[in-house]
Amino acid sequence: MPRMTMIEALRDAMDVMLSQDPRVLVFGEDVGYFGGVFRCTAGLQAKHGENRVFDTPINESAIVGMAVGMAAQGMRPCAEVQFADYVYPAYDQITQEAARLRHRSNGMFTCPLVVRMPTGGGIFGGQTHSQSPEALFTHVAGLKVVIPSTPHDAKGLLIAAIEDPDPVIFLEPKRLYNGPFYGDHSGKSVGWAQHPAGDVPEGHYSIDLGKADIRREGSDVTVLAYGTMVYVAEAAADKSGIDAEIIDLRSLLPLDLGTIKASVEKTGRCVVVHEATRTSGFGGELIAEVQEACFWHLKSPLQRVTGWDAPYPHATEWDYFPGPDRVIRALQKSMED
């Protein structure tokens, strides 16, 4: 089984789907000749041709609007928005057109499109290259929202997203593109072993959207995380000595409430971790779901560890991120019956 970085795994997923399904198209800003700003599509245009993999103008609304039209006519577009921070001009097309097309047409049209976006911080990109806007999409009925944390999952989930009959927002944590990375203010890697590549099966395989992964079994407390924060949670559990069960959600919509419920009923405690800002973040929805489903099993108040309620700080981004020490404090607090 070959080993790949997340970048390579995503590229392989698109390559597989371009090869197997003539309806699949890959496009966006600089994804063709240049191969994408993060090189996720490098070599795909040369292999599959300019009619299948192509560049677009710097116009996110037009990129997604074109994808909606293609999907409605039976194509399978996989469109890239260069950074999640750039998606706002396309928000109308995603939420008012793509998400509603199946229902407003009474099933006459569907919208099988994928919008790929690098998300989150960690590259010192400042406030216009570091945002985590997943909650803006989880609020919208008709969308699916996916965030992988490993190369294996990235490939399987992207293939599943391209094959899905409805629109999927596919968020790719840029801190994981070349392996889990936790840094200090200088960007020096500290605290995590570097595993830039993971085992990824060759050819076609898919991972069901809406199925969480229990990354680490435990009995003391359940930790719900996704994307980069899965590794932060693992580091915190290792350092604290608390027997935490860590669930990688992988899919925010649909949400695997069954796996979450079973875990919290077992541990009686729950900590939610995400990089995005706290207020109205997806963690609030997770806490509400756990409270409603598991109230009589809870032994302590639910805990949240999140980014700051502030515009994204460039100079202090490593303080902004929930780090292992902040998660440890939440774990310890949750253990206070």
Q: What is the largest CA-CA distance in the chain?
A: 61
Instruction: Name which of 19-23, 154-158, 233-237 the model is least confident about.
Output: 233-237
Query: pLDDT-derived band of residue 178, with 50, 70 and 90 as boundaries?
Result: confident
Predicted confidence (pLDDT) per residue in 1-42, tens digit: 899 999 999 999 999 999 999 999 999 999 999 999 999 999
- Secondary structure of residue 3 in the 3-state scheme: strand
Please state the rounded mean pLDDT for residues 105-121: 96
At 184 the pLDDT is 46
Q: Do domains 3-199 and 213-334 have the same CATH topology?
A: yes
DSSP 50: T
At 337 the pLDDT is 72
Helices (H), the chain: 6-20, 44-48, 60-72, 91-92, 101-104, 134-138, 151-163, 229-240, 257-267, 282-294, 317-320, 324-334
At 195 the pLDDT is 55
Peptide bond into 112 cis (omega under 30): no
Residue 182, pLDDT > 70, answer no
Contact 30, 82 (CB under 8 A): yes
Predicted confidence (pLDDT) per residue in 263-315, tens digit: 999 999 999 999 999 999 999 999 999 999 999 999 999 999 999 998 877 77
Task: Return phi, psi of residue 121, to 5°.
Answer: -100, -160
At 163 the pLDDT is 98
79 — alpha (psi -120 to 50), left (phi > 0) or beta? beta
- Structure token digits, residue 23: 């309806």
Query: pLDDT-derived band of residue 321, with 50, 70 and 90 as boundaries?
Result: confident
- One-letter amino acid at 125 equals G
The torsion angle over the Cα atoms of residues 164, 165, 167 and 171, rounded to 10 degrees, is 0
Residue 124, pLDDT > 80, answer no
Residue 164, pLDDT > 80, answer yes
At 179 the pLDDT is 76
At 266 the pLDDT is 98
Angle between helices 229-240 and 324-334 (to 10 degrees): 60
The residue among 183 and 120 whose pLDDT is bigger is 120
Edge-to-edge strand list for the sheet holding 24-28:
53-55, 24-28, 76-80, 114-119, 168-173, 144-146, 251-253
Q: How far out from the chain centre does Cα 262 lie?
A: 23
Written out in words, the top-level CATH class of the domain with range 213-334 is alpha beta
129 is catalytic: yes
Contact 114, 161 (CB under 8 A): yes
Q: Where are the domains of the chain?
A: 3-199, 213-334
Give the Cα separation of 97 and 122 in Å (integer).
32
Average predicted confidence (pLDDT) for the chain: 93
- Structure token digits, residue 296: 């009589």
Pick from 180, 132, 85: nearest CA to 278: 132
Of 48, 129, 152, 274, the catalytic one is 129
Give the Cα separation of 122 and 120 in Å (integer).
7
The angle subtended at Cα 219 by Cα 214 and Cα 224, nearest 5°, is: 40
Residue 152, pLDDT > 90, answer yes
Give the Cα separation of 176 and 80 in Å (integer).
17
Pick the CATH number of 3-199 from 3.40.228.10, 3.40.50.80, 3.40.50.970, 3.30.360.10: 3.40.50.970
Residue 192, pLDDT > 60, answer no
- Structure token digits, residue 194: 């570097």
